[in-house]
Structure 1
């Protein structure tokens, strides 16, 4: 999951602003795992099968695209859940 940080920020005008943020997608382990899984599926589809024996390809490009689609849906759901608890900038705090 993404890490949330709440920070009390003093602006140039002297007012206070609370900032709650979730790490950008490029800095999360979900992205690294997603890219690694997509590469693994693509490389497996590339190298498995087509042995020249005339048999059926055990892991076709169609199956690879299906698995990559499932991985993409899972990644989008994971990022959505990570962002769902974030409310963004909140300047209504008076402390």
Structure 2
């Protein structure tokens, strides 16, 4: 696997995990906290923790990417998964 291909796979994994993690950790909105910043949406997070989300996303993406690399290096592939074969059709 080339470095560019590995970086592309990691980038895709990172974005998927980022969007999976984003809904978690929003404890209070600005409206609930009673501290609405002028010009912002009242449903915006009161204290966003973007650094925490980015670090957590990177750690989880690294683990998933490591598992992907291990699976790729093991030689195990889709051909090794036993799929059900369609029933044979009889002529006549």
- Tell me which interval the TM-score lies in, with the shorter structure as reference length: 0.3 to 0.5
TM-score normalised per structure 2: 0.38
More strand by share: 1
Higher relative contact order (CA 8 A, sep 6+): 1
> Normalized per residue, which structure has more helix?
2
